[in-house]
Each structure stands twice: as C-alpha cells, then as structure tokens.
Amino acid sequence: MTGSERPATPAGETPASGSLPHWSDGDDVPTITRGEGVRVSDDEGTQFLDFASQLYCVNAGHSEETIVEAMTEQARRIPYVSSSKHNDARTELAARLADVAPGDLSGVYFAVSGSEANEAAVQFARAEQDAPKVLTRWRSYHGATYGAAALTGDPETRATVERYAATSGSGKFLPPIPAAFDAESPEELTEKAADHLEFVIRNEGPDSVAALLMEPVGGTSGAFPAPPGYFERVRDLCDEYDVLLISDEVITGFGRCGDWFGIEAEGVQPDMITFAKGVTSAYAPLAGVLVRDSLGASLREEGIDVGQTFGGHPVACAAGVAAMDVYEDRLLDNVESVAPTLESELRALNAHEAVSEVRGRGFLWAVEFAEPETGDPYVDPWAGEGNETDDNPVAAVKEAAMDAGVLVGGGRPGFQLIVAPPLCADESDV
C-alpha cells in the first residue's frame, strides 16, 4: 500500500495500538517494523522520515547500537532488582542525572511513566508544603493517569479534567500565549501573564497552593516558549508565596530543546524536574523526579514512599546511561548546529495564509493553523477549547506529509502540527 491510499489521520497524536481502550491514529496507519536513525519503515518496506520521534521520545534515533548493547548486557547479568536493594545501573544513572541537572537537583526518584513521575512530584510537594493544591496551565499536558489527567489543561481533555478536579485539588491558569493577553511586546506579555498568575495564586489562597507544575516549553500543547523574563517572574512569585516550582520536562528534557533540560534556558532554578521519554530515548519505559537537596532530605526524613515495582528497572536504567552517553558525545552538539536550519525552514511556513504561527525551540516546533476566513488562530485561550470546525487542515496536512514520506505529530488542541525529529537529524534530513 502506498501512503496516498491511507485514510486521513485524526489530528490528535495518540498511540496506535490493537487493543481497547487505546485510541488509534486510524485503522490504516502503517505498521512500523523497523527503524534506523531518523527513519522508520513499515511491514511493506515503505520508509518514513520520523519527524515526530514517535511521540517525541526517540531522541537518540532508532536502533542505536550502543543502547541496545547496554540493555542486553544488563539483561544477561541481572534484569531486575527491586528498589529495596541497590543496583549498579540505577545508581549510575541517578549520579549521571544529578551531574547534568541544574543547581542542587541531586535527589532522584525513579518511576515508569511521565504521568506517574508528575503524580509523585505532586505527592512530594503536598507532603513538603502541607498544602493541597497544585496549579497548572490551560493548554498543558501532564499525563493520562487519574491525578495527572486532572492536572492536564489541554482543551481536548477538559471534560476529563473536570471529572477529576474534585479529587485533584488542582487549579488552572493561562500560559503566556499572545492570543490570551492583549500585549504589544513580549515584555508586556510577560508582565500580563505573570500578573494573571499572581492573581490566581492569591485567589486560590497562597497557603493552600503547594506547587506550580509547568512545561518550560509547552509540548504537545503547541511548543510554546515563554516570553523573556516570564520564568524569572514565576520563580519570584513562588519565592514570595512559598510555592514549589516543578518543571515538567517529559518532552523538553534530554536535548529536545537544546540543553539537558528546557528550564536551563530560562536561568531559574526549579525545585523539582520530572522526566521520562528521552531519558532512555524510549528504548525502555523509565521516568522520574529530580528534587533539590534540601527537599530530598526532608522527604527522606518524613519517610514518604511512592515507589513502584518497575520504577528504576535496571534494564531501563542501563538504557538511560547509554542514551546519556550518546547525547553527551554527539547529540547535544548536533541540536545546536542543526536547530537554526530547522527553525528557519519552519518559519518560512509563516508566509502561508493557512498558518497563524510557527514557534518552538531546539528540536521541538509547532506549526499552528489559522482560520482561512479570518486568519485568526482556531483556539480561544479564554474559552479553553478549540473552535468547532470541519475545516481543520491538520489531518490533511499530516496525511500529505505521510504520502511524501514524513511523519509529523499532531498537537492538543488539534489545530497544529508538531515537528520534533530525533536529535540525530542532520541538515539534509531537515
């Protein structure tokens, strides 16, 4: 079958799978059976350039031999050791993470998925602050499990959020996106968005707020980088109102936005970082939370235990150590040298009347579409939902890209494409 015979795919990027209740990208999406570097191929031998890194995970590229070898070696020696004992791969990965994490984030807790990492961070924050609420942004994605879904604020999961809100104790605020605040400059946008956040903290009652949980660059919600100074204002507000700052780096970590962690570019120190996806380049499921020294000590004293059986699985940790070697040796430099070309090629799409904005950082970009009649973005940030429309071009563009041999992602809300190649993509791939 050629790509052109495949039906249109829905805009949302959701995992294809045979079993209910998993969503699927459609009945006739390719069955991917092989991958190498930035390319994958299906069971009929059709090759695709994977510019979505399979849900923005496969940062080191497909079938990276050094990672496969490290996992094999670990599995041969001892595949699993429970968290009640030490394990060399786990200890080494924890030390490597603490080495590259900003500031004094040297405590490492391992989980299995990004959703669970975020839930663990929330439990840490609530225990430490003795306060129930965690504030997150509309147009954010923090996971699909019970608590993480309640923290999520993308319009497509609004119904889910509200179903869980009563138990989650979470509140929402708006990210600094131009369409939400009528600002004439990035500086004014920072000011208005930070003032709005302060209003929300005060309105919720600062003593009841344990933490803010934010992606440094919005991921599937549309690759939003913050305007200059926004995160500094956020950090100041956290200090002023005694609220912890958690940076959700499930997508933005491990070189995706250029640095080890996306928050580094903002020059502020978070109290916790949550990570997943790129830590093993998705060669095995692994996630975790990095916590500041003092917070780690206090949590240990308190004896808070949120451990899971497969958190910090040794085979996954071996994959993590090998993936970090690849990032360090080659790929952080590659992102630095290739990202400007990726950026300028994508920004050229801004000239198209169907495109309302191109934005992102490093190897994480979004192309947002405009309503053809008005040229306005499809999403009303204050309404918290996408406009009802049958003309959403994203499905057709994704299908056309697939016909041309390129896989790209779909954002949530679904009026945008997400372009996020493996970090080994070179100029010619771009």
CA distances to 177, 384, 385 from 11, rounded to whole Å, are 21, 18, 15
Asked if residue 119 binds ligand PLP (CB under 6 A), the reply is: no
Phi and psi at residue 186, in whole multiples of 5°? -60, -35
Nearest C-alpha neighbor of 140 from the set 411, 420, 374: 411
Of 322, 328, 259, 281, nearest in space to 92 by CA: 322
Q: How many residues bind ligand PLP (CB under 6 A)?
A: 14
Where does this chain touch ligand PLP (CB under 6 A) — which range of 108-116, 201-209, 260-268, 316-324? Answer: 108-116
Query: Is there binding between residue 141 and ligand PLP (CB under 6 A)?
Result: yes
CB of 397 to ligand PLP, least distance (A): 21
Per the structure block, which two tokens stand in for 398? 């994704």
412 binds ligand PLP (CB under 6 A): no
Q: Two tokens at 283?
A: 């060669």
Supply 232's token pair: 């500094």
- C-beta closer to ligand PLP: residue 141 or 181: 141
Provide the minimum distance between the beta carbon of 419 and ligand PLP in the complex, in angstroms, as a whole number.
15
Q: How far is the CB of 28 from ligand PLP (least distance, A)?
A: 24
Q: Does 156 bind ligand PLP (CB under 6 A)?
A: no
Half-sphere exposure of 180 (CA within 13 A, CB side): 24
Give yes or no for a contact between 387 and 378, defined as CB atoms under 8 angstroms apart.
Answer: yes
* Residue 6 to residue 99: CA distance in whole angstroms: 46
State the Cα–Cα distance between residues 114 and 285, nearest whole angstrom: 9
Binding status of residue 215 toward ligand PLP by CB under 6 A: yes
- C-alpha distances in Å from residue 252, one per residue of 219, 259, 428: 7, 9, 24
Q: Which two tokens stand for residue 90?
A: 């786990």
Alpha carbon 75 to its chain centroid, in Å, reads 28
Nearer residue to ligand PLP within complex by CB, 59 or 115: 115
| Amino acid, res. 56 | Y
Residue from 35, 37, 107, 114 touching ligand PLP (CB under 6 A): that is 114
Residues 6+ apart with CB under 8 A from 314: 74, 78, 79, 80, 81, 87, 89, 90
Q: Which of 40, 71, 250, 291 binds ligand PLP (CB under 6 A)?
A: 250
Q: Which of 53, 54, 170, 220 binds ligand PLP (CB under 6 A)?
A: 220
Residues 312, 313, 317, 323, CA torsion sign: negative
Asked if 164 is part of the footprint of ligand PLP (rule: CB under 6 A), the reply reads no
Site for ligand PLP in 48-77 (CB under 6 A): none
Separation of alpha carbons 58 and 68, rounded Å: 13
End-to-end CA gap in the chain: 26
Stretch that binds ligand PLP, among 3-11, 137-145, 397-405, 408-416 (CB under 6 A): 137-145
Choosing from 52, 251, 346, 424, the residue that interacts with ligand PLP (CB under 6 A) is 251
Does 360 engage in binding with ligand PLP (CB under 6 A)?
Answer: no
Judged by CB under 6 A, the residue of 87, 113, 136, 281 near ligand PLP is: 113
Stretch 276-305 residues interacting with ligand PLP (CB under 6 A): 276
Residue 344 beta carbon to ligand PLP: minimum distance, rounded to whole angstroms: 26
Output the smallest distance, CB 235 to ligand PLP, in A: 19
Rg (CA), the chain: 21
- Span from 198-206, 247-255, 342-350, 414-422 in contact with ligand PLP (CB under 6 A): 247-255
Smallest gap from residue 191 Cβ to ligand PLP (A): 26
Under the binding rule (CB under 6 A), the answer on residue 142 touching ligand PLP is: yes
Q: Nearest to ligand PLP by Cβ — which residue?
A: 114
Residue 61 · residue 37 · CB < 8 Å: yes
Residue (250 or 299) nearer to ligand PLP, CB: 250
Helix axes 314-326, 65-77, angle to 10 degrees: 150
Asked whether position 154 contacts ligand PLP by CB under 6 A, the answer is no
356 scored as a contact of ligand PLP (CB under 6 A): no
The identity of residue 46, as a single letter, is: T
Kindly state whether residue 111 participates in binding ligand PLP, applying the rule CB under 6 A: no
Q: Is 143 in the site for ligand PLP (CB under 6 A)?
A: yes
**Which tokens is 62 given?**
């497909």
The binding site for ligand PLP (CB under 6 A) comprises 113-115, 118, 141-143, 215, 219-220, 248, 250-251, 276
